[in-house]
Structure 1
Amino acid sequence: MSEGQHVDTIEYFLQDIEHHGRNERTAAAYRRVLSEYETFLQERFDTTPPAASYRDCMAWIHEMRSTHSESTVATYASYLNRFYSYLERVGHAEENPMTVVLEEMNETIESNPTRRDITLAEMRAFVADVRHPLHRAIIVLLLKTGLRAGELCNLDLIDCHLAHGAKDWQPRAHIAGRPDSLFISTEHTYGEESGGEQRTASNKRKRETVIPIDEEVKRALVQWLAIRPDTPSNPGGQTPEPLFVGTADNWGERLTPKIVHHVVTSYAADRGWYRTGGGAAENVTPHYFRHFFTTHLRDRTGDRGIVQYLRGDVASDVIDTYTHNWGNRVRDTYLEHIYTISG
């Protein structure tokens, strides 16, 4: 698409929102934001909006966060999401790259979105159809820990302490004395180097979190580790080995949130739980699994504080109690109340 064509694409979009009754002030806001975004893409990546990738969009969001409030960034992201939904609808883009970006953002455009109500029995039937060890490990872990997709991608082998013979690495000191647990760091940020590599996702947590895993999660991880490819880009073990790597085109490379999103939504689409262009009310995505985990575990335990701790939310000082009393307050409560999803 030529320069003139992609300028017209923005103009056509602006005409479209005007035809739908948006006032001049709103149209002007869209024009300003899209123009700034277009300039950013040209200067940073020498590309155009229709050709931009998920990573390009995420880089722009990261740039905006350095100069704007989170609420403003969320508004700008909603503008960009609507623009790409338009491009996808009229055939000027194969997909909406902002779909995954919005999954990664800490801000929610809808304050309290109504979500599809999936029962535990329905979710078990969904998981039963997932046979690929990597896909199953991803989905089971997201459903039973409340991790964000980016946090899952950022996990290294040393962040996982399994009491099982499949483990042949030393877990980091934070979990060395806590078998069957995961360590979620606060240090990883999109586009910045961490652990010797540039990260493709951010961990949104304000606190380091140790998350217990039960036998069901451990079984899924062990089955995945049995077929996990070696990492080709880590000669001599100079950087931490990622826990989850690709088994297709990106063989042996660390997973990205876009891949995780694709894995989840592909299975969800097969069950009629995901539709391109659908919103939070109908689509099942990695973020939906976080919602599912929160709702079910909170209802089972009646302990909002433990759920906040596991999610990595910023809460009151009571969270310190869970941090220092992890064994019999967090782990025991989790193991007693966490649901099974294998039938």
Structure 2
Amino acid sequence: MNSEVNVDSEMEEVAKEAVNLDGPFVPSIKRTDIEDMSEFGDIEYYAWERYYNHGKAPSTIKNYFSAVSKIEKFLKSSDKINCNPEDIGKRGAKEFKRWLLGEVEKDTASRYISELDRMAQFYLAEGYYPGNPFNGLTDSIETNSTRSRSSSFQTNERISVDDSRLREAIRSTHGSQKIVLLAMLVKTGVRISEACNLDWEDVNIDHSLADDLLPEPRFELSDYSDTIYIDCDKTEETYDVGSYGNKRKVDTRIPIDDELKRLLLWHALVRERRFDRENPVFMSHTYPDEKSSERLGTATAWGRVAKVAKEYGWHESGRSVLENVTPHWFRAKFSSHMSTQLEADSNSPESDFDADPMDVVKGLRGDVGDDVIEGYRLRERDFQQVIRDRQFKIGLEGL
């Protein structure tokens, strides 16, 4: 073997070959040949993960990239829609459909839109996209097929839960910790692991009770009252219990409304006091007369959310992840609710809100990118109150 071979350089070339946007993947490349996929965009990663890695036929892969090339061509030629394919919204998707029907046959248009629909649904299910702009776009396309072709989003749509029933489920849940956990998931969109990794130092509450009950907030929150902080440096190795680490790539401050503020204060009043270096918000139990509690593990927290969902018929063994209410469902619910609320603000002549709703939602979710930095992070102070006002409301009267 040549001792002068640059392994890193070779690996980089392999990665470039593996995802070839001008044609199907190179059949000789194996998944184990690529160690770092961090530079893959959403389009390439989806193709790698869902098609090539599962041994799909070249014709299937080619059809996917044909759909991608069409939406890229549309965006380059459009005077109305100016964004990347991964960031297209509902209005852009509808414009793309109208344009595509003028470019190709109806059957082909339906097939291409379905490919993009599946990609958006993949990232929605993983909690990375706030919505699916291609949902239902193929329904009104009359194709030559004799069988009904409902969109992949509709056949795999997340279970729908009425807002009033969701409020009832949260309000009726036994125990302060479980109520706070559910409220935090739906109001802030944090992942279940990020909630479990939260320490009281990561919470800044402007209230006299907080001064007595809680430790001094971390420095990053010193100028941000009624806010929680998600630290991207907390990994699986940070704590001894079953933590999955915080997956986001950037530290994030998330405002909390009066409801979550009151719930956290209530929880702080009844929680077990810790005197070691850790001070977790969520613990495996909160009874002072028992042995010292441990930090709530991600798997245990997931199970507690699923238990509540089962009580309301929203979770059943054997169903797909899209058919059950899980912590991922709460993250998607947050994204959908917040983007809808902010979209209404941006379209209202009476509102001063002048940002792209998607940029704000992405910023709160901890997404990265120039659009998020310019559209949200550089202006996050401007959006604090509007975010609090638009967070999902539970209704604490009588609780």
TM range (shorter): 0.5 to 0.7
Cα offset, 1:251, TM superposition: 5.2
Q: Could you tell me how far apart the structure 2 residues matched to 1:153 and 1:173 are?
A: 21
Q: Normalising by the residue count of structure 1, what TM-score does the alignment of the two structures yield?
A: 0.64
Q: Could you tell me how far apart the structure 2 residues matched to 1:65 and 1:178 are?
A: 45
Percent pairwise identity: 27
Does residue 296 of structure 2 align to residue 255 of structure 1? yes
Q: Could you tell me how far apart the structure 2 residues matched to 1:274 and 1:266 are?
A: 8
Could you tell me which residue of structure 2 aligns to residue 289 of structure 1?
A: 330
Cα offset, 1:280, TM superposition: 2.5
Could you tell me which residue of structure 2 aligns to residue 193 of structure 1?
A: 238
How far does the alpha carbon of each residue in 1:229-268 deviate from its partner, in whole angstroms, 9 at most, with x for none? 133xx6xx4x341121121798521111111111111111
Could you tell me which residue of structure 1 aligns to residue 227 of structure 2?
A: 181
Could you tell me which residue of structure 1 aligns to residue 265 of structure 2?
A: 222
Does residue 354 of structure 2 align to residue 332 of structure 1? no
SS where residue 317 of structure 1 aligns? helix
Q: 1:309 aligns with which of 333, 352, 363?
A: 363
Could you tell me which residue of structure 1 aligns to residue 173 of structure 2?
A: 130
Q: Could you tell me how far apart the structure 2 residues matched to 1:105 and 1:250 are?
A: 37
Cα offset, 1:141, TM superposition: 0.5
Could you tell me which residue of structure 1 aligns to residue 317 of structure 2?
A: 276
Partner letter of residue 223 of structure 1? W
Tell me: CA distance 1:148–1:66, structure 2 relative to 1, closer, same or farther (3 Å): farther
Partner letter of residue 284 of structure 2? G
Tell me: CA distance 1:328–1:160, structure 2 relative to 1, closer, same or farther (3 Å): same
Cα offset, 1:104, TM superposition: 11
Kindly tell me the number of residue pairs found equivalent between the two proteins. Answer: 249
Tell me: CA distance 1:155–1:276, structure 2 relative to 1, closer, same or farther (3 Å): same
Cα offset, 1:199, TM superposition: 6.7
Whether contact under 8 Å (1:74, 1:107) holds in the other structure is no
How far does the alpha carbon of each residue in 1:53-88 deviate from its partner, in whole angstroms, 9 at most, with x for none? xxxxxxxxxxx999475769967xx99xxxxxxxxx
Whether contact under 8 Å (2:171, 2:179) holds in the other structure is no
SS where residue 394 of structure 2 aligns? coil
Does residue 259 of structure 2 align to residue 205 of structure 1? no
Partner letter of residue 162 of structure 1? I
Whether contact under 8 Å (2:226, 2:257) holds in the other structure is yes
Q: Normalising by the residue count of structure 2, what TM-score does the alignment of the two structures yield?
A: 0.55
Could you tell me which residue of structure 2 aligns to residue 322 of structure 1?
A: 376
Tell me: CA distance 1:284–1:106, structure 2 relative to 1, closer, same or farther (3 Å): closer
Partner letter of residue 325 of structure 1? R
Tell me: CA distance 1:341–1:106, structure 2 relative to 1, closer, same or farther (3 Å): closer
Say which one has the larger Rg: 2
SS where residue 134 of structure 1 aligns? helix
Partner letter of residue 224 of structure 2? R
Residue segments in structure 1 that go unaligned for 5+ positions in a row = 1-32, 34-63, 80-102
SS where residue 301 of structure 1 aligns? helix
Could you tell me which residue of structure 2 aligns to residue 61 of structure 1?
A: none
Q: Could you tell me how far apart the structure 2 residues matched to 1:106 and 1:261 are?
A: 15
Partner letter of residue 314 of structure 2? W
Q: Could you tell me how far apart the structure 2 residues matched to 1:67 and 1:328 are?
A: 40
Cα offset, 1:107, TM superposition: 8.1
Moved more, 251-260 or 178-187: 251-260
Whether contact under 8 Å (1:144, 1:293) holds in the other structure is yes
SS where residue 228 of structure 2 aligns? strand
Residue segments in structure 2 that go unaligned for 5+ positions in a row = 1-30, 38-44, 55-123, 130-151, 344-356
If asked which structure has higher relative contact order (CA below 8 Å, sep 6+), I would say 1
Could you tell me which residue of structure 2 aligns to residue 246 of structure 1?
A: 284
Q: 1:118 aligns with which of 161, 172, 197?
A: 161
How far does the alpha carbon of each residue in 1:162-205 deviate from its partner, in whole angstroms, 9 at most, with x for none? 11233231101100111100011111222x236xx577212111
Tell me: CA distance 1:323–1:251, structure 2 relative to 1, closer, same or farther (3 Å): same
Partner letter of residue 307 of structure 2? S
Partner letter of residue 310 of structure 1? L
